[in-house]
């Protein structure tokens, strides 16, 4: 139950953060909002710091330094990626948002979710190795007209290196 509560609170946090982000805002301001919102909601630590990236910074890997001074434009894209710990239970979620009415950006956000769902469904079948699943994801993205950024692979929930925060 606590795991599901942490997941729900993580999505609540993403929604609260996104409600405060507006066109003309600096990316640095959005990251301050993310940090303060998470603190106000009761989390004091996370798996990683919150990431809010606008426009050109959305295609950088987490290991690349984002360009400073990026403002959210009228027709733009941004994402929120947070990993808060709520009373000892870890949440990790991200979501992509669009400002304005750019149809390609809208399609990007919808297709991102669609690709995730297609690949998740395939993963649940157990039919692929990790490498095979990445190949399937890459082909799924290509079929929808996108290029999957394979420099941004992550971890399964159970494989998070908890020793980064907890020595025991």
What are the two backbone dihedrals, phi and then psi, of residue 96, each rounded to the nearest 5 degrees? Answer: -105, 140
Q: How far apart are CA 40 and CA 105, in angstroms?
A: 31
Is residue 71 scored above 90 in pLDDT? Answer: yes
Is residue 139 scored above 60 in pLDDT? Answer: yes
pLDDT, tens digit (0-9, with 9 covering 90-100), for 115-137? 999 999 999 998 888 889 999 99
- Strands (E) across the chain are located at 51-54, 76-82, 85-86, 89-90, 93-99
The domain locations on the chain are: 1-101, 102-168
Across the strands, what pairs with 26?
A: 71
Both tokens of 71, joined, read 């403002």
Q: How far apart are CA 163 and CA 148, in angstroms?
A: 30
Tell me the fold of 1-101.
Creatine Amidinohydrolase (3.90.230)
pLDDT of residue 45: 85
pLDDT of residue 68: 98
DSSP symbols for 144-166: TT----GGG----GGG--GGGT-
Is residue 165 scored above 60 in pLDDT? Answer: no
pLDDT of residue 164: 55
Both tokens of 20, joined, read 């405060």
């Amino acid at each position: 139950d606590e795991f599901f509560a942490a997941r729900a609170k993580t999505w609540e946090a993403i929604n609260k953060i996104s409600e405060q982000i507006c066109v003309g805002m600096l990316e640095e301001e959005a990251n301050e909002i993310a940090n303060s919102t998470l603190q106000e909601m009761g989390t004091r630590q996370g798996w990683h710091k919150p990431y809010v990236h606008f426009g050109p910074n959305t295609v950088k890997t987490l290991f690349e330094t984002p360009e400073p001074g990026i403002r959210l434009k009228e027709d733009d894209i941004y994402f929120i990626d947070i990993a808060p710990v709520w009373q000892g239970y870890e949440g990790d979620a991200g979501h992509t948002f669009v400002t304005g009415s750019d149809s390609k950006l809208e399609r990007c956000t919808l297709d991102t979710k669609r690709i995730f769902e297609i690949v998740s469904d395939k993963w649940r079948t157990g039919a692929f190795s990790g490498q095979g699943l990445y190949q399937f994801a890459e082909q799924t993205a290509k079929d929808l007209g996108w290029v999957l950024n394979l420099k941004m692979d992550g971890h399964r929930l159970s494989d998070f290196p908890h020793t980064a925060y907890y020595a025991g």
